[in-house]
Amino acid sequence: MAKIKKLFVCSECGYQSAKWMGKCPECEKWNTFAEEVISEAPAEKYKKEAAISYDKSAFVPLKDINSGEEIRYKTNISELDRVLGGGMVPGEVVLLSGDPGIGKSTLLLQMCKSLNKDLKILYATGEESSRQIKLRAIRLGVDKDNLYIYAGTNLMSIVAIIESQRPDLVIIDSIQTMTISELSSSAGSVTQIRECTQQLILSAKTLEIPIFLVGHVNKDGAIAGPKILEHMVDAVIYFEGERNLSYRIIRAVKNRYGSTNEIGVFEMLGDGLKAVENPSEMLLSGRPENVSGTCVTCVMEGSRPILAEIQALISKSTYPSPKRSANGIDYNRFYMLTAVLEKRCGFFVGNLDIYTNVVGGLKLDETAADLAVLASLISNLLDKPLRHDVAVIGEVGLAGETRSVNRINQRVNEAVRLGFKRIIVPKIDAAKLKNAGENIEIIGISNVNELRRIF
Ligand code: TYD
Ligand code: MG
């Protein structure tokens, strides 16, 4: 007979404790402990089971394993396929996460529409009624014979449906609403989420069915539930973007079947999400003219160059310690660049508030944007706008020197494609850009001080 134990489990990291605690000693979050009932089987039982289940086929030389052909089901939504690494793989479990209302359910329902019409799909929803799904499907123009809806939260019923109906794809919206009634803890608790996911992974792997799980995020933007959830699934995709803006970005933070560098860009329209094939154009639309403190750069998002607009605003501080705000730029990098601005460019900013922002909710994690951040700061300090057709690309070192960036040709080509004529790059990269095009001026600079020249 299995022993039943009561425990307190941290809903953030899964840390277990016999007593309730205000602050988790593992992840240092507050108020995350919830009571869970855990039934434990004795260790000897596990050992016995392991001994029975072991057989020769569980111990095979690598060279004898047949890898087979790699099968990918294309979702036919180009930006989603890009992030998935070319489509779904049979047996793959994907966790799709993001803020409420950002478009998770919309994207998955649209995926049902665009998938090959012969594929049989089970869409299990614990969030909405079948009627709500139907209304949304009408709005999105989803008209499919092979799409089946299960509205409910009983996970074992879903598993039973999967086993008897053998769909080609399963969508669970959301994993936090699903429950296994034998477990006494409530929906959304660590135990429920973990066990439900475990059951679904088991079905996915044994029946080779891809499964999409929708995951909620907590108030910090992390996936709600135990961290272990992210380790269990094959791919984790985050939906980013500002709810009040119309565009959305999906990004894989983990992918066992593809790269994690690619992003997918969508625009939310009246009839659902539309893939944006040329994100640069969209991100630069509405750029102000003749305003100081804005600068365009080009970053690589996976294999794709994307132009981004960086804005800076510097004002006299009314606070005892001036405000620093970096939206879309890594904080540490931003601090480093303000130090370079003071020490190497001779601007005193110690008593000034500095705000920087990357337009469109894009998050830059590339050092190739350094020079453009400095250019926008200097532009605002001097109150001199950059010419409208200037793009700035380059990394900056602590000595104020410019450093080479990778794939400079691709970046410059993207800038040229969008009409930029004067491109500022690190001096060593300028030599590689002899054939940038007619009427294109490439300016190589070796030190950040030379940025003053471009205004
Ligand atoms: P939804 O997919 O329900 O978000 P999630 O599942 O991530 O919580 O997205 C709902 C939002 O999207 C809602 O604010 C309305 C908007 N929307 C559109 O703008 N156009 C559409 O065609 C649809 C279906 C939704
Ligand atoms: Mg939803």
Please, what is the angle between helix 190-207 and helix 155-165, to 10°?
0
pLDDT in the model for residue 356: 96
CA proximity to 236, closest of 224, 253, 221: 253
Residues 6+ apart with CB under 8 A from 83: 237, 250, 251, 252, 255, 258, 262, 263, 264
Task: Please give the structure tokens belonging to residue 455.
Answer: 């205004």
Q: Is the CB–ligand 1 distance for residue 350 below 6 Å? A: no
115-141: pLDDT as tens digits: 988 899 999 999 999 999 999 999 999
Q: Is the CB–ligand 1 distance for residue 104 below 6 Å? A: yes
Ligand nearest to the CA of 243: 1
Kindly give the distance from the C-alpha atom of residue 203 to the centroid of ligand 1, in angstroms, as a whole number.
29
Query: Which atom of ligand 1 is closest in space to residue 239's alpha carbon?
Result: 7
Q: Is the CB–ligand 1 distance for residue 248 below 6 Å? A: no
Q: Is the CB–ligand 1 distance for residue 103 below 6 Å? A: yes
Kindly give the distance from the C-alpha atom of residue 400 to the centroid of ligand 1, in angstroms, as a whole number.
46
Ligand nearest to the CA of 173: 2
Kindly give the distance from the C-alpha atom of residue 102 to the centroid of ligand 1, in angstroms, as a whole number.
6
| Amino acid (one-letter) located at 168 | D
Name which residue sits closest to atom 12 of ligand 1, judged by CA: 103
Kindly give the distance from the C-alpha atom of residue 253 to the centroid of ligand 1, in angstroms, as a whole number.
23
The three-class DSSP label of residue 381 is: helix
Whole-number Cα distances in Å, 204 to 86, 197, 247: 19, 10, 32
Instruction: Give the mutation target among 174, 242, 268, 269 for probing the ligand 1 site: most ligand atoms within 8 A of CB.
Output: 268
Task: Please give the structure tokens belonging to residue 211.
Answer: 């499964």
Task: Please give the structure tokens belonging to residue 127.
Answer: 């969030």
Residues 6+ apart with CB under 8 A from 118: 146
Residue 81 zone, left/alpha/beta (φ > 0; ψ -120 to 50; rest): alpha
Q: Is the CB–ligand 1 distance for residue 270 below 6 Å? A: yes
pLDDT along the chain (455 residues), means of 10: 73 84 88 76 61 67 80 91 92 92 93 91 94 94 91 94 95 93 84 91 94 85 72 91 77 89 87 88 86 95 89 93 93 95 92 92 89 96 94 96 94 92 94 84 94 86
Name which residue sits closest to atom 13 of ligand 1, judged by CA: 101
For ligand 2, a single-atom ion, the residues with CB < 5 A are 105
Q: Is the CB–ligand 1 distance for residue 379 below 6 Å? A: no
Kindly give the distance from the C-alpha atom of residue 173 to the centroid of ligand 2, in angstroms, as a whole number.
7
The radius of gyration computed from the CA coordinates of the chain, to the nearest angstrom, equals: 26
Kindly give the distance from the C-alpha atom of residue 316 to the centroid of ligand 2, in angstroms, as a whole number.
44
pLDDT in the model for residue 221: 65
pTM score, whole prediction: 0.78
Kindly give the distance from the C-alpha atom of residue 364 to the centroid of ligand 1, in angstroms, as a whole number.
26
Q: Is the CB–ligand 1 distance for residue 268 below 6 Å? A: yes
**Contact status, residue 293 vs residue 376, Cβ threshold 8 Å:** yes
Kindly give the distance from the C-alpha atom of residue 272 to the centroid of ligand 1, in angstroms, as a whole number.
7
Q: Is the CB–ligand 1 distance for residue 100 below 6 Å? A: yes
Query: Which atom of ligand 1 is closest in space to residue 173's alpha carbon?
Result: 6
Query: Which atom of ligand 1 is closest in space to residue 109's alpha carbon?
Result: 2
CA proximity to 310, closest of 361, 372, 263: 372
Kindly give the distance from the C-alpha atom of residue 324 to the centroid of ligand 2, in angstroms, as a whole number.
35
